[in-house]
Structure 1
Amino acid sequence: MSKLKIGVVRGGISSEREVSLKSGEGIIRELNKDKYDVKDIVLNDKNDIFTSLDGVDFVFLGLHGKFGEDGKIQAILETMDIPYTGCGVLASSLCMDKDITKHIMRSYGVRTAKWISVREGEECDYSEAAAYLGEDIIAKPNSGGSSVGVHFIKNEQEFYEALKDIFTIDKEVMIEEVLRGVEISVPIIDGKVYPTLCIEPKAGTFFDYASKYEVGGADEYVVEFEKELQDEINELTKTAYHAVKCEGYARIDFMLKDNKPYLMEINTLPGMTMTSLVPKSLKHLGVSYSELLDKLIEVSLKIKR
């Protein structure tokens, strides 16, 4: 029987290119070569996707950020009738927009931090933002990830400097209240919730770029909370996943404050480096990295696009 020819697409044009290269490298290394014929596809330009898929039966997406997680690549692959890993066009584009995601979560009764969204060219007054959100606030690109462009703000000067910086990489800024508590992350595959991971950053003051992608950047370990809280975490994970029409797999991040989970982010293409969270969660159940990749491929092939 002929092998499934898998194109692992990585790199891309977003600010998360280096993370994507590492994710794709790990995927390529661990895919079972007895089962798959693997092709390394590094995108350096948007047009590369149109010239690199000859003979490919299936695409394993190792991309992150814009033109990776935002639904655009997904739409191209669907037009070409090539199945791929992860969420579809709608979920990908929704979850890439933090403002829209939070509005949807609120409508489904999922807790999330208070926020305001500022588009480029709009006026935003620091005193008004602080009056609503509190003086401990965070600003980030509305459509970014991997903690790129994140600013913790403690005064008016830092506020306007953050806006200026973020507008160089995105056209909209998300400004949130800072929730202090315990950071957790929950993988969900084909609608099934997997073990919760607790995250204690060491390389940075929060789960930033260094904490996520440097070896030893954070202590990440599986945790089982008392039943009532764990049941709520699992239920909110399922609610969030289905509310934005996720398919295949995702990773849902929460902050636990006063023993209440607040949704922080939905990751439709979670990182797959050697330090990534989803492989760590599945490893706790005895599932190897290679077996996890098999599982994600199997789940993705069942989806009707």
Structure 2
Amino acid sequence: MKIGVIMGGISSEREVSLQTGQEIVNHLDRSRYEVVPIVIDQRVDLITKVQQAGIDLAILALHGQFGEDGTVQGALETLGIPYTGSGVLASSLCMNKQLSKMLLNGAGVHTPVGFCWQGLQDYDPQAVERLGYPVIVKPNTGGSSIGIQLVHNEKELQAAVQEACSLDQTILIERYMKGTEITCSIVDGEVLPIIGIRSAHSEWFDYKAKYEAGGAEEQVIQLPPVIEQSVREAALASYRLLQCKVYARVDMILCQDIPYVLEVNTLPGMTATSLLPKSAAAQNISFSQLLDRIIASSLHERKQEWGKMHYV
């Protein structure tokens, strides 16, 4: 089987995507697959490079806009090329943090309280004062904690809002919740071991903590059975409600024993320090075995979806 690993892209997460892509390339079983790295540098690259590669399946190692937002998934469906992970709808929903929060809240899944601003014209420090400092300011789309800041007072607020607005027209202001950061990786509807996260040098799990060696302590966490059950239920409810398929990662914060969903990642990082491979390893699933499972499940999922729509 000829597999193309699509990486790079045009989002602010390009460098993380390149790391993810290279890690996947390194761990694909060469006795089973012919591997073709496909680096995307601009939007027009995708269709041309994919068609030239003549692949049987695309592994998506993209992050952020034009990668996780359903755009690439839709293009590959048009070309009739199966791809890994969630489909167009789930990719688009999970990329839009505000929309996914509304859906989750409507279904009774806890998320941090806050509000949404449509650019700098909505800037209202009094509203933030009423919400209560500290707050988290973040772009509505994107990931890897890029553009996200912890704000302690009005003096810090305007700079944080301006930075977030430079990355996205819509931004979120959420009350900062102090608690235990956890992440739930889900593969084929199965919740893998839950990982607890403690940043080594910062108050929260920021970009440096995520991607610098030694930036955070990440290990399987043992929770009381009742709390673990509520965490697993919240993760699966989020995964299913947002129509995720094959695999995803649900990030939460455990505050006063209640899990609050921060976001759902449809294309979680797969770098050497990423959380999904660590969670899989805790269940004795190697990186190569994880990729085999994602590939098999994705082929099955696309066959199910496309068969229903008479694509094949």
Tell me, yes or no, whether TM beats 0.5. yes
The answer as to whether partners of 2:120 and 2:165 remain within 8 angstroms in 1 is no
Which amino acid in the other structure matches residue 287 of structure 2?
A: Y
The answer as to whether partners of 2:120 and 2:162 remain within 8 angstroms in 1 is no
Which amino acid in the other structure matches residue 39 of structure 1?
A: V
- Provide, for residues 229-275 of structure 1, a one-character-per-residue CA deviation record: whole Å limited to 9, x for no partner: 11111111110001011111100011001111111110000000011
Give the structure 2 partner of residue 272 of structure 1.
Answer: 270
The answer as to whether partners of 2:200 and 2:209 remain within 8 angstroms in 1 is yes
The answer as to whether partners of 1:203 and 1:216 remain within 8 angstroms in 2 is no
TM-score normalised by length of structure 2: 0.94
2:147 matched to 1:149? yes
Give the structure 2 partner of residue 166 of structure 1.
Answer: 164
What CA distance in whole angstroms lies between the structure 2 residues aligned with 1:274 and 1:202? 18
Unaligned stretches of 5+ in structure 2?
Answer: 306-312
The answer as to whether partners of 1:142 and 1:170 remain within 8 angstroms in 2 is yes
What CA distance in whole angstroms lies between the structure 2 residues aligned with 1:274 and 1:164? 32
What CA distance in whole angstroms lies between the structure 2 residues aligned with 1:76 and 1:34? 29
Number of equivalences: 301
Which amino acid in the other structure matches residue 35 of structure 1?
A: R
Secondary structure in 1 aligned to 2:146? coil
What CA distance in whole angstroms lies between the structure 2 residues aligned with 1:109 and 1:205? 28
Secondary structure in 1 aligned to 2:121? coil
Deviation at 1:127, TM superposition (A): 1.3
Deviation at 1:93, TM superposition (A): 0.5
Unaligned stretches of 5+ in structure 1?
Answer: none
The answer as to whether partners of 1:6 and 1:39 remain within 8 angstroms in 2 is yes
2:28 matched to 1:45? no
What CA distance in whole angstroms lies between the structure 1 residues aligned with 2:239 and 2:106? 14
What CA distance in whole angstroms lies between the structure 2 residues aligned with 1:210 and 1:227? 32
- Provide, for residues 94-120 of structure 1, a one-character-per-residue CA deviation record: whole Å limited to 9, x for no partner: 110110011011011101100110012
User: Counterparts of 1:18-29 in structure 2 under 5 Å?
Assistant: 18-29=15-26
The answer as to whether partners of 1:130 and 1:137 remain within 8 angstroms in 2 is no
RMSD: 1.0
User: Counterparts of 1:1-305 in structure 2 under 5 Å?
Assistant: 4-53=1-50, 54=52, 55-120=54-119, 122-131=121-130, 133-303=131-301, 304-305=304-305
Which amino acid in the other structure matches residue 104 of structure 1?
A: L
The answer as to whether partners of 2:120 and 2:161 remain within 8 angstroms in 1 is no
What CA distance in whole angstroms lies between the structure 2 residues aligned with 1:80 and 1:7? 14
Deviation at 1:224, TM superposition (A): 2.6
Deviates more, 1:101-110 or 1:117-126: 117-126
What CA distance in whole angstroms lies between the structure 1 residues aligned with 2:254 and 2:135? 17
Which amino acid in the other structure matches residue 26 of structure 2?
A: R
TM-score normalised by length of structure 1: 0.97
The answer as to whether partners of 2:4 and 2:37 remain within 8 angstroms in 1 is yes
What CA distance in whole angstroms lies between the structure 1 residues aligned with 2:102 and 2:178? 21
Which amino acid in the other structure matches residue 62 of structure 1?
A: A
Deviates more, 1:18-27 or 1:133-142: 133-142
Secondary structure in 1 aligned to 2:129? helix
The answer as to whether partners of 2:186 and 2:249 remain within 8 angstroms in 1 is yes
Deviation at 1:88, TM superposition (A): 0.6
- Provide, for residues 112-154 of structure 1, a one-character-per-residue CA deviation record: whole Å limited to 9, x for no partner: 10011001253231112220x2121110111021000012112
- Richer in helix (by share): 2
The answer as to whether partners of 2:98 and 2:172 remain within 8 angstroms in 1 is yes
Deviation at 1:167, TM superposition (A): 1.4
The answer as to whether partners of 2:250 and 2:265 remain within 8 angstroms in 1 is yes
CA pair 298-203 structure 1, distance change in 2 beyond 3 A: farther
After superposing on structure 2, the runs of 4+ consecutive aligned residues of structure 1 that deviate more than 6 Å are none
Secondary structure in 2 aligned to 1:85? coil
The answer as to whether partners of 2:185 and 2:247 remain within 8 angstroms in 1 is yes
Which amino acid in the other structure matches residue 5 of structure 2?
A: V
Deviation at 1:300, TM superposition (A): 0.6
What CA distance in whole angstroms lies between the structure 1 residues aligned with 2:292 and 2:228? 28
